[in-house]
Amino acid sequence: MIRSLAARNLSARQKSSIRNIAYRLGGYTRRPVEVLVEDVVLNDGARTFLQIGANDGYLSDPLNLAIFRHRLTGTFVEPQPNYYRELQRTYRNFPGMVFLQCAIAAEKGAMTMYTLDCSGGRLPGWAHGVGTLSREQIRKFGDQIDNIESYIRSDEVQCITVADLLDRAAHRDPDIIVVDAEGFDHLILSQFDFARLSTKLVIYETESMTKVDAADLARKLEEGGFAIFEAEQDTIALKRDTETFRSKNAAGDKAA
């Protein structure tokens, strides 16, 4: 009951602070992806990031704890106005952050973004994080939400390419890249030239990808020197020349 009330009434920044304190006191168990982020920070000196589809900076976020603990710096991309404002509040007074209110696509210009109206409190918590440029993608959640069409909302958003994004980002060659774009992860990550970047860790989702796109992206990342792992709902690409990879390999963890 108390946890439920806190989830509804606290801001993302307040919840982030509580998560950080709880972890320091031993009361928060990190997800596998959070463990991996911290390993790359501690073992390989990762200090910069680029996060596309950052939501409020807290909800199911793989970077939040590490940012609060280690003061990482980087760029957040979030097209939805309400979450963009909350994202700015989450990292208020964190120096070195760049916030961009836009979506990433194949070309510059305006596109339609589809979201679920969660204002009535009847939808599950995860529904807050499913904004997408594909109406077909958001309709797929109809197997979990009755009468989903009545909750779908559409708004125009401005889109830029990855090349434009890197021109505006705090760091052109970030140590960590996180993408959560509900069906557009392949399109976005395919625009990066990973052979030229020194990025150590890439976190993305394959749930919304076709098998062909997932295999194509894995191939491109492997050609860029990454090993592919699965970590719950996340797919992880970890650079093979990192100390973190060598440690995982020595421990017997297997790459895909």
Q: Is residue 84 part of a domain?
A: yes
Model pTM? 0.88
**Cα-Cα-Cα-Cα dihedral of 65, 96, 176, 106, to 10°?**
120
CA angle 161, 126, 188 (to 5 degrees): 15
Q: Is 114 contained in some domain?
A: no
Domain membership flag for residue 92: yes
Up-side HSE of residue 142: CA atoms within 13 Å toward CB?
11
Asked if residue 6 is part of any domain, the answer here is: no
Asked if the structure places residue 196 within a domain, the reply is: yes
Structural domain of 193: 22-105+164-251
CB atoms within 10 A of CB 21: 12
Number of domains in the chain: 1
- List Cβ neighbours of 82 (8 Å cut-off, separation of 6 or more): none
pLDDT at position 175 is: 98
Please report whether residue 55 resides in a domain: yes
Q: Does the residue 42 lie in any domain?
A: yes
Q: Tell which wins on pLDDT, 129 or 86.
A: 86
Distance of CA 164 to the CA centre of its chain: 19
Is residue 121 a part of any domain in this protein? no
Give pLDDT tens digits for 174-230.
999 999 988 789 999 999 999 899 999 999 988 888 899 999 999 999 999 999 998
Least confident range of 23-37, 51-65, 145-159: 145-159
Q: Residues 103, 79: contact at Cβ < 8 Å?
A: yes
pLDDT classification of 249: cutoffs 50, 70, 90: confident
Secondary element (H or E) of residue 33? helix 32-44
* CATH at residue 31: 3.40.50.150
